[in-house]
Amino acid sequence: MRLVWLILLLAASGVAWRLVHLNVTERSFLMRQGDARMVREVPIPAHRGMILDRQGKPLAVSAPVISLWANPQVLGKDIAQAKQVAQSLGLPEVDFLERLARFKNKEFMYLKRSVNPAEAETVLGNKWGGVHGERDFQRYYPAAEVTTHLVGFNNIDDQGQEGMELAYEPWLQGTLGTKLVQKDRTGRTVKDLRLLSSAQPGQDLVLSIDLRIQYVAYRELKAVVQQHNASSGSVVVLDVSTGEVLAMVNQPAYNPNNRSIMSIDSLRNRALTDVLEPGSTMKPLTVVAALMSGQYDPETKVDTNPGFIKVKRKTIRDHRNYGVLDITGIITKSSNVGVTKLALSLPENSVRETFHNFGLGQATASGFPGESAGILPSYAKWNPINLATMAYGYGIAITPVQLAQAYAVFASYGLKRPISLLKQDQVPEAQRVMPERVAKQVIAMLETVVQKGGTGTRAGVASYRVAGKTGTVHKPSKDGGYADDVYAAVFAGMAPASNPRLVAVVIIDNPKGEQYYGGEVAAPVFSRIMAESLRLLNVAPDNLLPLGG
C-alpha cells in the first residue's frame, strides 16, 4: 500500500507540476499559439461620404451590402453542398466548381460581392460549412446617367474610378476601423473580442450643379441628339456671378448602377476632355481685340464686298455678299470676311493674346481628372492665313467649358472667374480681361444675333433678352483638310442680356440630315434649357415684349 500511495503521490505531483508549468511558465507561449489559430484582426468598413448637389440632393450614396466568401478547403470537401451554394447564388455550376478547385489550397475565395443583405442572410441561414459573409458598402447613384459624367463611379472595392469620385477619393473614402474577433476552425466568427480602432466615415462633397437644371439639360440634349442622329453632344450652364457649373451633361451617357452594357465611348466627360474648333463663336472675341485696339468702335464700317477675300492662296467666303457692314453687323451676319479684315489690320499677336486672356489654351482649374487645356497656337512669325482662320475660330481647339468661361467674361462685364465644380460659399476673386464698356458693347452686338435678321433667332426666350452667337463648324477629315458634309452645331449665349445671370453652351457633334447649322440645331436647345433654368431660379424677366420686339 505504501508503494501504491507513493506512486499516486508522484503522479499527482507530476500533474500539479504540469499544471503550474503550463499556466505560469508556458502561459504566454500557449496564449500566442491559441490566438494565432483563433483570434483575427478584421477591418471595419468606413462609410463613404455622400456626393450632393447644391440643394443637398444626393447624387452618390453608399448602401450597406454583404460580400459572401468561402473557405475552399472546407466547402470543397462537400461537392453536393458546393452545388447548392452555386444554385442559390445563381452562379454557373461548372464554372463555380472549377474555380473552387483552383482555390483548393487557399482559405479565402469570394463567392459574390455586394449582395443585398436580405438575400445574403437567406444564403447564410443555410449554415453551409465554409460559407461566410462580411459587411460592406456599395455605391448607388440616384440620378443615374443624368449626372454620371460629372459624378463618376467606383469600382467593386468602393474606390473612385471616374469623375469627382476619383478626383476627391481621399476626401470621400474615410478611414477603415479594426477589431479583434475569435473564429472557429471553419473561419466563422464566434465572438467579438475588442475594438482596436473605430471606422471614420468619409466627408460629404457638395457639387455646384443644380439637379433641377441638370435634368432639364439632360432631357433636351438627349432629345436633340436622337432627333438629328448626332454622334455626340454637350451642354454646360454656368452661374455668371460665381463661375459655378450649374449643369454639365453629355451624350452618349451610361447608367453607373448597371455597367454591364456600358461602352467605352460613353465614359468621357466631353464637356471637359474633348476639344473642337469653335468656329464663329470666336468672332466676338476677335471683335474685342479690334475694339480694344482703339482703331474701331461699334459703328465703324467694314467693306465685305464682293463677299469673299483672298488671303495668300486661300479664299475666305461669306454665305453671301453682305456689302458694307458696321462692327455690329459683322457679328449679326457672322461675316468671315469682316472678322478677317479686322484681324489682319491688328498687330500680329493681338487676337491670340485676347483669346488667351479669355482662358483659351489653359485648363480651367476645375480639378476634374483628364481635363484638356485645348490648343491655342503661337507663332514666332504669323502667317496671314493663320491670323485669318483664328479670327473666325479655326486652327484652335477648345473644350465646351472653356467656351462657356469665355462667354461668362462678356456676361460679367469683363471679369474672368475660375470655373468651379464645387458649391462656392463666397464669390471668388476675378481677373479683369477687358473694360466694362467694351463688354457691354459686345453684348449689345450679340443681342442682334438672336433678333430678326440674325443667325440665332431660334435661341430667343419669351420675356427675356438673350445675347449669343451661333457656330457651324466644318469637322476635320481623316484624309486631311475639312469634310464638306460633317459639322458641329454650336450655340453660346447668355440671359437675361440686361444683367446676365446664366451662360449656356450647346454643342451637337455631327448632326445628320438637312439641318446642321448652329442656328437650326443648337440654338433651339439653348432656348429651351435657358427658359426652364431662368424659371427655376426665379430670375425676373427683362423683356415683356413679344419675341423679336
Instruction: Report the pLDDT value the prediction gives residue 26, as an integer from 0 to 100.
Output: 66
Q: Cα–Cα distance between 275 and 310 in angstroms, integer?
A: 28
Bridge-based pairing of strands 308-311 and 314-317 is: antiparallel
Q: Quick one: how far is CA 100 from the chain centroid?
A: 40
Taking each helix axis from N to C end, the angle separating 336-344 and 384-391, rounded to the nearest 10 degrees, works out to: 130
C-beta separation of 333 from 318 below 8 A: yes
How many angstroms separate the CA atoms of 308 and 315, rounded?
Answer: 7
Distance of CA 256 to the CA centre of its chain: 12
pLDDT higher than threshold 70 for residue 36: no
The whole-number average pLDDT for the span 405-430 is: 95
What average pLDDT does range 76-85 have in this prediction?
A: 85
Specify the residue for cell string 486652327: 395
Per-residue pLDDT at 549: 47
User: pLDDT (tens digit, 9 = 90+) per residue, 236-270?
Assistant: 999 999 999 999 999 999 999 988 788 888 999 99
Which of 403, 160, 393, 125 shows the shortest CA–CA distance to 277?
Answer: 393
Mean pLDDT in residue range 500-510: 97
Query: In 3D, which of 237, 235, 233 has the Cα closest to residue 210?
Result: 237
User: Is the predicted pLDDT of residue 34 greater than 90, yes or no?
Assistant: no
> Over the stretch 121-149, which tens digit does the pLDDT of each residue have?
888 888 888 888 888 888 999 999 999 99
Q: Is 402 left (phi over 0), alpha (psi -120 to 50) or beta?
A: alpha
Closest to 491 (Cα-Cα) out of 451, 467, 527, 523:
523
Cell numbers at 473, concatenated? 463648324
Whether 28 is catalytic is: no
pLDDT, average across residues 2-30:
79
Closest CA to 340 of 372, 308, 366, 364: 308
Give the DSSP H or E segment for 317: strand 314-317
Annotated active-site residue in 62, 232, 280, 527: 280
Q: What domains sit in the chain, N to C, each tagged with a CATH number?
A: 42-206 (3.90.1310.10), 211-536 (3.40.710.10)
Of the listed ranges 31-40, 288-297, 376-385, the one predicted with least confidence:
31-40
Mean pLDDT (the chain, rounded)? 90
Cell 474672368 maps to which residue? 416
* pLDDT surpassing 80 at residue 421: yes
CA distances from 297 to 347, 412, 434 (A): 17, 21, 15
First to last CA, the chain: 129
Q: How far is residue 500's CA from residue 519's CA, in Å, rounded to a whole number?
A: 21
Burial class (CB in 10 A: 0-12, 13-18, 19+), 514: exposed
Kindly report, residue by residue over 200-245, the tens digit of the pLDDT: 889 999 999 999 999 999 999 999 999 999 999 999 999 999 999 9
Give the Cα separation of 395 and 390 in Å (integer): 6
Cα 114 versus chain centre, distance:
25
Choose between 544 and 26: higher pLDDT.
544
**β strands within 95-159, DSSP E:** 109-115, 131-140
Residue 548 has pLDDT above 70, yes or no: no
Q: Stretch 4-26: mean pLDDT, rounded?
A: 81
Cis peptide before 170 (omega within 30 of 0): no
CA distances from 49 to 155, 156, 287 (A): 15, 16, 47
Rounded-to-integer distance, Cα 352 and Cα 348, Å: 8
Strand partners, 505: 236, 492
Q: Which amino acid is at 242?
A: T
Q: Is the pLDDT of residue 39 over 90?
A: no
The mean pLDDT of 348-364, rounded to a whole number, is 94
* Residue 307 and residue 337 in contact, taking contact as beta carbons nearer than 8 Å: yes
CA neighbours within 13 Å on the CB side: how many for 88? 21
Question: How far are the Cα atoms of 272, 333, 351, 468 from residue 398, in angstroms, in the given order?
Answer: 9, 23, 15, 18
CA distance 519 to 490: 8
Calculate the CA dihedral of residues 284, 290, 294, 297 and round it to 10 degrees.
Answer: -50
Q: What's the mean pLDDT in 28-40? A: 61
400 in Cβ contact with 236 (< 8 Å): yes
Per-residue buried b or exposed e for 410-426, using 16+ beta carbons within 10 Å of the residue's own CB: bbbbbbbbbbbbbbbee
- State pLDDT tens for residues 312-355: 889 999 999 999 999 999 999 999 999 999 999 999 899 999 99
